[in-house]
Chain A
Amino acid sequence: MTVLRTTNLTKRFGKFTALNGVNIEVSRGEVYGFIGPNGAGKSTTIRVLLGILKASGGEAKIFDKDAWSDAVDIHKQIAYVPGDVNLWSNLTGGEIIDLFVKLRGSNNKSRREELIEKFDLDPSKKCRTYSKGNRQKVALIAAFSSEADLYILDEPTSGLDPLMEKIFQECVMDAKISGKSVLLSSHILSEVERLCDRIGIIRQGKIIETGTLSELRHLTRTSLLVETKQPIKSLSEIIGVHDIEKKGQALSFQVDSEELGNIIKYVSQFEIMRLESAPPKLEDLFMRHYEGVGENTNKGRDES
């Protein structure tokens, strides 16, 4: 069942086209990773989905309702955390959490207390004294103590320390286990890899790649570090080998995932002493897309 769908979503600000036909689909119980560099259109897409901006063209639907005209109804079942949390400086964190939860509808007091403790937030402080991370905690606690069906999270961890990031990830996993859907925009790729079932990459207002993590991994390369007794001959002529680099006695290079078997077979003729491999990283894919389409631009990305 599809929870969220945008079809050919377009948004123009005057002459500038921020979104140029964005297609996203998030199914029920799915964590969808939405990645892209700054200014690619992630937040604009999310703000159109929230009915804060009006689309110039295309369609944005959540729960099969229109994101603009049925915004209030939709929002009863969603929870949102913005990337840049600006709060009222003269209200306390506790007051704002209550206000946000109440404005959605439901109220889960025990969950609220539990999360305040987990995220280690002092709710009696005025928001002007909070750091960026603490303001983000306020928004996260408000979001996760509501019983929402869809969580829209726009770079929610950009100010959190690693410990809090872990707690955030637990919250997302809990939501997923209980059948909730999540749209997670982020550029912390390790987080996306850990949490997301499916991923969409946006660039200059267009989705340029989408699929499950393993589908996308087909597009990526495995990094190998090999040390052999005899020098490996004419490695660069083997199909699927890229970015060869000498590291002391060893050679490091990248291989296309589908050619891995052949390459190992070839290399093993030279009596392997040491073999290290690093799994394909989302980062490599990301970098390849963003540094232009160049094949050899991600030289020596050593993952050992």
Chain B
Amino acid sequence: MSKELYYNTGKIAGLIVGRDRIRIPIWLISITLMTIITATTFPGLYPTSQERQIIAETMLNPAMTAMLGPGFGLDNYTFGAMLAHQMLLFTAIAVAIMSILLVTRHTRTDEEGGRIEMIRSLPVGRLSNLSAATYVLFGTNVLLAIIIGLSLYALGIESIDLEGSLLYGAALGATGIFFTAVTALFAQLSENSRGTIGFSFSLLGVSYLIRAVGDISNEALSWFSPLGWILRTEVYVNNYWWPILLTVGIALALLALALYLNAIRDLESGLLPAKPGRKTASSFLQSPLGLAIRLQSTGIIAWAIGMFILGSSYGSVLGDLEAFFEGNEMMRELLSPIEGFSLTAQYLTMLMTVISIICTIPSLMMILKLKGEEKKNHTEHLLARAVSRTRIMGSYFLISIVFGFLSLLLAVLGLWSAGTGVMENPIPFGTLFNAAMVYLPAMWIMIGVALLLIGFVPRATGLTWLYLGYSFFVVYLGGLLQFPDYMGRLSPFGNIPKVPIEDLDFTKFFVLTAISLVLFVFGFMGYNARDIQG
């Protein structure tokens, strides 16, 4: 029986490790480096416990709780407590993303590409591929837990002790294992890799939001989120191990379900039913633009809803924030109020950077779809007909630009409508709108970078994500970790004036826009002059 199901699992696991011999180390090294670098900056930034206490005060507000999770040990804000509070949640999300992408790659993507069919024609068990993929990912996450745990301890920073460090690593590993199981399950339900990734990321997003809302309003709600469990380890403060066991236990149950579903379903089918489609194309579909929209319609709708929710979840804490600023004298000093602007409005500018970077993600996905289509040999169908390259690229470009604007708008709408509900002195819509829209040129530059890469080095389009990740890191964490100024300037998002606190600098605005235009033009030129691959 088990031979029927699991034969040659080890060899397939070996194949997976071989295929990812570069990919997995890159993930492990990046996540470990991110953690270590952050930890090592703390002693330099806040040498005395007094300084740490001041930071703890600024952390003690609902917005921070929503973003980072509840702060444990804020009354004695040691380096360890600081690290766990500021970094654990975001690092856990990075680990979850790693697990989702890697599991999908080795399950649905391979199945869709017909590679599993070939594997299954060999003497291999029915569940061998799924179990091999999960074993490799479990191994990767355990390895990550050990590496992070030991290297944090090896830093020898006061209060970053061995047990806490191991638990910190274990919390990350457990998150990875949980999302490995979740993705394995969705890979059985959905019929294709896009759906698998979509469902898994949705669950991750919902987990984050439920935890955010739960942490500031009703703790019981946070218990519905796996990210909530992870934070309840209270690393470096109380060091609870049972949330790890809980997370891993539920993950194993989910995995068992995934294996069961995998055993009862047909290869290349999903358990969510597919309905018969149209016999003819609607007139909307019959153009490259219509096709591009149709292919991404699910993504467009999902991201639109997501952006509105993102905005309103930030908006819903604005009332608490306002009350908090009112009653906290030190905070008022720290933010040094500027004439005519409420502290909340100032806080918003920081929020806008984050929102605009998140809004850039769908925009980039939509332009990079052009390269994905080329790789799948789809572009040549269009080019073999009376369609120019400029028209094809233009269609994706248009969607990307328009949706970039729309997602900012939806986020602002969410922020404004939720904020108006909870604030005593609501911020006018116009103020929020302007504060968000100044980020458009930065978004355009990111799209321009993507276009340029598609036009000249389509293999390297992944660099766009690296650049966006860098932007997020320096702009969002740069202030906290006190990076040098020029590091922020290297990102388009670091050059945007913080409206309404800073004046709108039109020269800067035009320079950024001009740069993006140049990138666009070169991107189109490159695409028109190169071989289509695939």
Q: Would A88 and B378 count as touching, CB distance under 8 A?
A: yes
CA distance A97 to B281 in the complex (A): 8
> Given A54-B529, A86-B376, is A103 in contact with B386 using a C-beta cutoff of 8 Å?
yes
Query: What CA separation (Å) do A105 and B387 show in the bound complex?
Result: 10
Q: Mark B284-306, 1 if CB is under 8 A from A, else 0.
A: 01111001001100000000000
Q: Are A84 and B281 in contact (CB under 8 A)?
A: no
- The one of B278, B279, B387, B530 in contact with A103, judged by C-beta atoms closer than 8 angstroms, is B387
Encoded as 1 (CB less than 8 Å from any A CB) or 0, chain B from 258 to 292 comes to 00000000000000001011111110011110010
Q: Is B285 a contact partner of A99 (Cβ separation < 8 A)? A: yes
The 4 closest A-B pairs by CB, nearest first: A98-B281, A92-B277, A102-B286, A80-B384
Measured CB to CB, the nearest residue on chain A to B195 is A90
Give the distance in Å from the alpha carbon of A47 to the alpha carbon of B374 in the complex. Answer: 14
Interface residues of B in 372-386 (CB under 8 A from A): 376-378, 380-386
How far does the alpha carbon of A73 sit from the alpha carbon of B192 in the complex, in Å?
Answer: 37
- Chain B residues whose C-beta falls within 8 Å of the C-beta of A97 in the assembled complex: 281
Closest chain B residue to A74 by CB distance?
B386
Segment at the interface with B among A124-132, A155-163, A174-182: A124-132
Q: Which residues of B contact A (CB under 8 A)?
A: 112, 191-192, 274, 276-282, 285-288, 291, 294-295, 376-378, 380-388, 529-532
Given contacts A82-B380, A86-B377, A90-B295, 13 further A-B contacts (CB under 8 A): A50-B380, A54-B529, A72-B386, A75-B386, A82-B384, A88-B295, A91-B285, A94-B278, A94-B279, A98-B285, A103-B287, A103-B386, A104-B385
Task: Write the residues of chain A forming the contact surface with B, with a CB cutoff of 8 angstroms.
Answer: 47, 50-54, 71-73, 75-76, 78, 80, 82, 84, 86-92, 94-100, 102-105, 123-126, 128-129, 152
Cβ of A76: which chain B residues have Cβ within 8 Å of it? Answer: 386
Complex: chain A residue closest to B288, CB-CB: A103
Listed residue (B291, B381, B385) with the most chain A CB atoms within 10 angstroms of its CB: B385
Complex Cα distance, B286 from A105, in Å, reads: 10
Contact assessment for A72 and B388 in the assembled complex, using a CB-CB cutoff below 8 Å? yes
Q: Which residue of B lies closest to A129 (CB)?
A: B274
In whole angstroms, how far apart are the Cα atoms of A103 and B288 in the complex?
8
CB-CB under 8 A from B278, the residues of chain A are: 92, 94-95, 124
Nearest residue (CB) in A for B390 is A72
- Bound-state Cα–Cα, A98 to B280, Å: 6
Q: Are B276 and A124 in contact (CB under 8 A)?
A: yes
Contacts of A103 in B (CB 8 A): 286-288, 382, 385-387
Q: In whole angstroms, what is the CA distance A80 to B209 when docked?
A: 49
Asked if A91 and B294 sit within 8 Å, CB to CB, the answer is yes
Asked if A75 and B387 sit within 8 Å, CB to CB, the answer is yes
Q: Are A52 and B532 in contact (CB under 8 A)?
A: yes
Task: Report the bound CA distance from A71 to B385 in whole Å.
Answer: 9
Q: A-side binding surface: helix, strand, loop or mixed? A: mixed
Q: Among B282, B382, B386, which residue has its beta carbon within 8 angstroms of that of A105?
A: B386
CB distance from B448 to the nearest CB of A (A): 24
CA distance A97 to B277 in the complex (A): 14
Query: B377–A50 contact, CB under 8 A?
Result: no
Contacts of B532 in A (CB 8 A): 47, 52-53
Within the complex, what minimum Cβ distance (angstroms) separates A292 from chain B?
A: 32
Name which residue of chain B comes closest to A55, CB basis.
B531
Count, A-B residue pairs, CB within 8 A: 106
| B279:A92 contact, CB within 8 angstroms | yes
Which residues of chain A are near B287, meaning CB under 8 Å? 102-103
The CA of A84 and the CA of B114, in the complex, are separated in Å by 14
A80 to B382, CA, bound (A): 10
For residue B388, which residues in chain A have a CB less than 8 angstroms away from its CB?
71-72
Q: Please, which residue of chain B has its CB at the minimum distance from the CB of A102?
A: B286
Cβ-defined partner of B531 (8 Å) among A52, A73, A78, A124: A52
By beta carbon, the residue of chain A nearest B388 is A72
CA distance A71 to B380 in the complex (A): 12
C-alpha gap A129/B277 in the complex (Å):
12
* Distance of A62 from chain B, by nearest CB (Å): 12
Name 13 A/B residue pairs within 8 A (Cβ), A-sorted.
Answer: A47-B532, A51-B383, A54-B531, A72-B387, A73-B386, A75-B387, A82-B380, A88-B291, A91-B294, A95-B278, A95-B280, A95-B285, A99-B285
From residue A205, how far is it (CB to closest CB) to chain B in Å?
A: 16
Give every chain A residue within 8 A of B530 (Cβ-Cβ). 54
Task: Give the docked Cα–Cα distance between A96 and B381 (Å).
Answer: 10
Contacts of B294 in A (CB 8 A): 91
CA gap between A54 and B529 in the complex, in Å: 8
Residues of B within 8 A of A129 (CB): 274
Q: How distant is B394 from chain A, measured CB to nearest CB, in Å?
A: 13
Q: Which of A53, A90, A95 contacts B281 (CB 8 A)?
A: A95
CB distance from A191 to the nearest CB of B (A): 22
Contacts of B281 in A (CB 8 A): 94-99, 102
| Distance A301 CA – B425 CA, assembled complex (angstroms) | 93
Asked if A52 contacts B380 (CB within 8 A), the reply is yes
User: Complex formed: what's the CA distance from A292 to B530 in Å?
Assistant: 36
The answer for the CA separation of A43 and B112 in the assembled complex, in Å, is 25
In the assembled complex, the Cα of A99 lies from the Cα of B282 at a distance in Å of 9
Inter-chain contacts of B279 with A (CB < 8 A): 92, 94, 123-124
Nearest CB in chain B: distance from A79 CB, A:
8
When distances are taken between beta carbons in the complex, the residues of chain A under 8 Å from B286 are 98-99, 102-103
* Chain B positions within 8 Å of A128 at CB level: 112, 191-192
CB distance from A30 to the nearest CB of B (A): 21
Contact residues in A for B274 (Cβ distance below 8 Å): 126, 129
A100 and B531: CB pair below 8 A?
no
Chain A residues near B295 (CB-CB < 8 A): 88, 90-91
| Cα–Cα distance between A297 and B385 once the two chains are bound (Å) | 44
CA A104 – CA B294 in complex, angstroms?
19
Report the bound CA distance from A299 to B285 in whole Å.
Answer: 56
Interchain CB contact (< 8 A) of B280 among A80, A88, A94, A152: A94
Of the candidates A52, A89, A104, A125, which one forms a contact with B386 in the assembled complex, judged by CB atoms under 8 Å apart? Answer: A104
A146 to chain B, nearest CB (A): 9
Say whether, besides A102-B286, A102-B287, A123-B279, A52 and B384 are in contact (CB < 8 Å).
yes
Q: Which of A75, A87, A98, A124 contacts B385 (CB 8 A)?
A: A75
Chain B nearest Cβ from A162, distance in angstroms: 24
The chain B residue sitting closest to A81, CB to CB, is B384
B381's partner among A54, A98, A100, A102 (CB-CB below 8 A) is A100
Most buried by B among A72, A103, A124, A129: A103
